[in-house]
Amino acid sequence: MKPLSGDFKRASRRLGFVLIMSVILLGQGVSRASGNTSMMPVTCKVMPTLEASFPESLDFGDVAPTRDPDGSYVISDTQVVKIWSNTEWALTMRSDSADGRMTKWTGDGYSSETLTFPLEWQLNGEGEFMRIEGDDISVVQGQSPTDKYGTALRLLFRQLITYNDVPLLDPATFYRIEVTFTAIQVY
Amino acid sequence: MSEKHRFPVLAMIIVLISLPALSRSAHALPNAMSHRNISMRVSPTYIVAEVCDGDFIGPIKVSNTGSLPLDLQGFISEGGHDKNGIPIFSDPSGNTLKCGVFLTLEPTEFRLMPGESRWIKVRAHVSDTFSGGAYPIIVFQGQPAKEMHSRELLTSAQVGVLTLITVTSRRKQDSIYASPNIEYVALSQDPVDKSLIVSAICENQGNIHTTLSGTAVIRSYLGQPASSAKLTPAVCLPGHKRVITARFKPFTLNKGIYIAEVLVNSEGNTHPSIPVAFQVAENGMISAIHMDLAHP
């Protein structure tokens, strides 16, 4: 190995000295700067939040029975319930009629006249139609938190009309039922 | 286009236009649809608070996020849950102190135009002698502001707010405690990846809610640990039952007899379950489960 020259050694010493001084001066500068600053903690807390959109009403219109029971069903178009939630959630549904049958509405209140069969519902076009009840029934439960697009639940309602159902001739009266949807987060 | 081809082309166009209409269900009514929606946002929907008589909790912000003016009403239901933590509503509790705590809303009825929001104050009223947990559910019900007598099927929209309220007594003899009791342990296995799921049904026999957590452990029959997995934490109200589960990552269990045990943690104490013995066949699947080791 070639021995190092005296100039090179001197230059190395100078460079080392300059580096050490730079570190010391920078360190002092940093400590002086931090002495003049203060930390501002910025915090927030995201609250559990639920947003829901429900169909406002549904009108089956003028309906008529037929001899064929399958042909006597009046089926709604798809009704969409949409939920946005940042924790697990569930949706229940109930009617104001204990047995789920539409009842004659006189404008002031219900009378005793009811349709023969209850209103039925189906979720997302899957499974059997189920009758609606006066107690809360689970539409979905244990649903994961949604993204910003939410989760859409597609409901169909159907009503069987038979020749046993009494026609209502007074234009001010009709068969009516009230459906209550409840969206809630889970424990 | 020649005269000869004009008619078949026209007929084809008419058929193509008519196809969607023809393919519709004969009974799906075009007028049986809703054009308007009730939309509302509620925040927070879960409130945990320790209160004294007269304290406010919340407040809760209710917003009309739809295009219809809404009439809103707030009321209080008695809370509770099923084994999966799904809230169970009971009748509105009214302003009674039968549970030691009742809540009042200020205001209880209000109207929100589209885009409007309102902060609702919630005041807790506590009886002098009560200590423990109370779990009322606050429900906001929204309906379109106008009467809709022409409709056959009306909907009401409700969004619930769960509350976990703790009242600490000043009297030393009134203790607040949660007491989880493991009633049952069940085993199941995924037939595809053979992973095990251990579930425990716990009842909280105390007077305050608790968060159940812990581990499920699988040991060989000789007592050597084979694997363990954390239970998914879950809130359990007093007097209610809750299922908590642990899913083991897929691992190979050799043929033999094993023991599964659940250790539930609550309030710093660990509560072990009765061990459950199960037999694994050569293919790695559970072939038999024995629930009671005391009576083989």
Domain ranges of chain A: 50-55+70-185
CB contact under 8 A, A184 and B141: no
- Residues of chain A found within 8 Å of residue B45, distances taken between Cβ atoms: 48-50, 85, 87, 184-185
Task: Give the separation between CA B76 and CA B26, rounded to whole angstroms.
Answer: 45
Q: Are strands B56-64 and B37-43 parallel, antiparallel or unpaired?
A: antiparallel
Note whether A54 contacts B150, CB cutoff 8 Å: no
DSSP class of residue B181? E
| Alpha-carbon span B147 to B65, nearest angstrom | 20
pLDDT band at B6 (very low <50, low <70, confident <90, very high): low
Instruction: Say which residues have a Cβ less than 8 Å from residue A96's Cβ, sequence separation at least 6.
Output: A134, A177, A178, A180
Using the beta-carbon criterion (under 8 Å), do A57 and B65 form an inter-chain contact?
A: no
Dist CA B153 CA A56 (whole Å):
9
d(Cα A73, Cα A1) in Å, to the nearest integer? 102
Average pLDDT over chain B reads 84
Per-residue pLDDT at A91 exceeds 70: yes
Percent of chain B with pLDDT over 90: 55
pLDDT over 80 at A70, yes or no: no
Which of residues B200 and B253 earns the better pLDDT score?
B200
Which tens digit of pLDDT belongs to each residue from A154-173?
999 999 999 999 999 998 89
The two structure tokens encoding residue A57: 């009403």
Residues of B in Cβ contact (< 8 Å) with A91: none
Positive or negative: CA dihedral B202, B207, B213, B215? negative
Helix H segments across chain B? 3-23
Neighbouring C-alpha atoms within 13 Å toward the C-beta of B225: 7
Q: Which residues of A touch B239 (CB under 8 A)?
A: none
Residue of A nearest to B151 (CA): A59
CATH number belonging to domain A50-55+70-185: 2.60.40
Average pLDDT of span B93-105: 74
Of A61, A119, A180, the CB nearest to B156: A180
Smallest Cβ distance to A60: which of B29, B36, B137? Answer: B29
Q: Where are the CATH 2.60.40.10 domain residues in chain B?
A: 11-167
CA nearest A155 in B: which residue? B33
Q: What is the pTM of this model?
A: 0.80
* Residue B103 main-chain phi, psi, to 5 deg: -110, 145
* Whether ipTM exceeds 0.90: no
Predicted confidence (pLDDT) at residue A9 exceeds the cutoff of 50: yes
Give A63's contacts in chain B (Cβ within 8 Å): 29
Residue ranges matching CATH 2.60.40.2360 in chain B: 180-290
Contact B74, B61 (CB under 8 A): no
Per-residue confidence band for B107, with pLDDT thresholds at 50, 70 and 90? very high
Interface test with B, best of A44, A46, A57, A113 (most B CBs within 10 A): A57
Q: In chain A, which among 118-147 make CB contacts under 8 A with chain B? A: 119, 136, 138, 141-142
Which residues in chain B have their CB less than 8 angstroms from residue A141's CB? Answer: 84, 86
| Nearest one of B93, B45, B53, B159 to A46, comparing CA atoms | B45
**Nearest partner of B230 among B212, B251, B216, B211, judged by Cα:** B216
Task: Please list, residue by residue across B177-203, b when 16 or more beta carbons sit within 10 angstroms of its beta carbon and e when fewer do.
Answer: ebbbebebbebebeeeebebebbbbbb
Q: Which two tokens stand for residue B101?
A: 């705590």
Based on C-alpha coordinates, what's the Rg of chain B? 29
Cis peptide bond upstream of B107, omega within 30: yes
Closest residue of chain B to A183, computed from CA coordinates: B159
CATH class of residue range B11-167: mainly beta
Cis peptide bond upstream of B59, omega within 30 = yes
- Paired tokens of B149: 């007598």
Helix (H) / strand (E) containing A71: none
User: Residue A56 is nearest to which of B37, B85, B236, comparing CB atoms?
Assistant: B37
> CB under 8 Å to B11, separation ≥6 — which residues?
none
Q: Is B20 left (phi over 0), alpha (psi -120 to 50) or beta?
A: alpha
Whether B63 contacts B40, CB under 8 Å: yes
Selecting from B137, B153, B158 the residue whose C-beta is nearest the C-beta of A181 gives B158
Q: Which helix (H) or strand (E) holds B261?
A: strand B256-266
Write out chain B residues lying below 8 Å of A74, CB-based: 27, 29, 32
Q: What does the alpha-carbon distance between residue B248 and residue B229 come to, in Å, rounded to a whole number?
A: 6
Confidence at residue A34, expressed as pLDDT on a 0 to 100 scale: 57
d(C-alpha B157, C-alpha A185), whole Å: 15
CA B255 vs. chain centroid, Å, equals 39
For B137, the closest chain A residue by CA position comes to A184
Please, which residues have CB within 8 angstroms of residue A38's CB and are 6 or more apart in sequence?
A: none
Question: Between chains, do B153 and A176 touch, taking CB under 8 Å as contact?
Answer: yes
Which chain B residues touch A187 with a CB distance below 8 Å? 81, 85-87, 162, 234-237, 242
Q: Encoding tokens for residue B41?
A: 């946002």
**Does domain B180-290 bear CATH number 2.60.40.2360?**
yes
Residues 4-63 of A with CB under 8 A from B: 47-61, 63
